[in-house]
Structure 1
């Protein structure tokens, strides 16, 4: 990729964000330079919409986001969902049935209302950054699975994430997508065909951008489809082995502003 990319797609946690979930001034400045030069920046994340506000605060600019591992395409300026690919209630019920048979102690949560609210079972550990008004505990399994969900989350105590995702994927083969983006044993389940690559491809088609005009950054297995799709794929040095294996190049770690360091070659400071 000799010319500057027309579109930069980047994961957030572990990639653009540092471990304290902040974005450095250096990184924010590069993103703003890309936009000023007429380029596109898209945030492609497993995060729900409700976790995006502080990212925009750090960037100082609102750019489109593909959330929930590709299930939601979000316009933050208008606070509008441009596209959503949820799991239907009947599909959620079948996924839950299969996983309860395979992993009896599994606990579920669902991202509903395009990711603006989470519902979860008793015993499901919630994130410390969740706001009480966005959470709802559900006693009855049938109520938990009664609304379309852009993501189903599964936990079963302490698990090796790579091993657990294989168990889940095997149980759901042909029915839904299973991936992970953390080292905590959390598996993220989406409707069949819904990946970061699918969400990004839809966005690029809408804007007349081809895969070879895009560069993508990531660090975890849920980034692999996007990295494979993009014309050039860049792993941060702290990435999961699966990501390091398929990336075209490796940049510095997220703590060392690896995304900014790579992009400064194309978008240098004045």
Structure 2
């Protein structure tokens, strides 16, 4: 029998709309893992929120976090396979954000701790809420000026991601400005905030869910990968998988490239599929 690695996105795929796992999904996943099935998640989230989401799942594999820029072990709290940005590229990108006065968070990862800085101007309301919801997390430390002054990390070589949430017209303008800079992969996309707000992030060029999944496939000795997703940023991972599965609530572009379309995330469809797959 083929050894299968199951990899699921979280938001809109494995989770319920309230950003939690239903008890049914938890029970089905734990049963599948107990039977020896290989399961993990691949998410843009960091352990600050992933830890609480998957705390009741008896994970036997580490989680793919930061959109593939790192692997995180829930049991030990340790990171591995970290994809840092080139220091010169990170410095050039930070300077461009500052010159263009584009507010954005600057994440570094050092000694298994995420440090978050902010450049480009004062926090907007969404950024402030983002920070306040994570202020007491043991996984993150914020270094943010109350007056809006730029604070840069002491060691820019530890940069793992830039992350911003701004009005779409500003996000698209900065994306056009920096997407050609060497040594980074820049994204601009819509997520949970609707069409008025766009998310912007930047990583090392090889920091992708798809690459992280393929490395985990090799490390676990799996013969095939079954990947689950719902959004545009899941497409490369689905294309890299042996079997691409879209949930019913996925975007049309995701369903179009999927091998299989299952029920919606609200029906525990991912966990049901894994439980029944033989």
TM-score class, shorter: 0.7 to 0.9
Provide the C-alpha distance between the structure 2 equivalents of 1:170 and 1:76, rounded to a whole number of angstroms: 37
Structure-to-structure mapping, 1:1-270, within 5 angstroms: 6-61=4-59, 63-99=61-97, 104-113=100-109, 116-121=114-119, 122-124=122-124, 125-126=127-128, 127=130, 129-132=133-136, 134-138=141-145, 141=150, 143-144=152-153, 146-147=155-156, 148-155=158-165, 157-159=166-168, 164=171, 168=175, 171-173=178-180, 174-179=182-187, 180=189, 182-184=191-193, 185-210=198-223, 213-266=224-277
SS in 2 for 1:150: strand
Residues 153 and 31 (structure 1), Cα distance of their counterparts in 2 relative to 1, 3 Å cut: same
CA-based RMSD of the aligned residues comes to: 2.8
Report SS of the residue matched to 2:89: helix
SS at match of 1:186: strand
Q: Return the TM-score normalized by structure 2.
A: 0.81
> Structure 1 residue 51: deviation in Å?
1.9
- Give the Cα–Cα distance (whole angstroms) in 2 for the partners of residues 182 and 76 of structure 1: 26
Q: How many residues were matched structurally?
A: 258
d(CA) in 2 for partners of 1:37 and 1:146? 44
Give 1:169 deviation, angstroms.
6.2
Structure 1 gaps of 5+ residues are none
CA contact 1:95–1:172 (8 Å) conserved in 2: no
Moved more, 140-149 or 62-71: 140-149
Q: TM-score, normalised by structure 1?
A: 0.83
Distance 1:117 1:171, change over 3 A: closer
Q: Distance in 2 between matches of 1:40 and 1:266?
A: 12
Distance across 2 between alignment mates of 1:215 and 1:170: 36
91-100 or 188-197, which deviates more:
91-100
After superposition, the Cα gap between the structure-2 partners of 1:193 and 1:165, relative to the gap in structure 1 and judged at 3 Å, is: farther
Q: 1:93-135 CA deviation, whole Å, 9 max, x = no partner?
A: 212344566xx34211022226633222432514153124632
With over 3 angstroms needed to count, the CA separation of the structure-2 counterparts of 1:167 and 1:105, relative to structure 1, is closer
1:117 to 1:167, Cα distance in 2 relative to 1, 3 A: closer
SS at match of 1:243: helix
Name structure 2 gaps, 5 residues minimum. none
User: Equivalents in 2 of 1:228, 1:166: separation in Å?
Assistant: 29
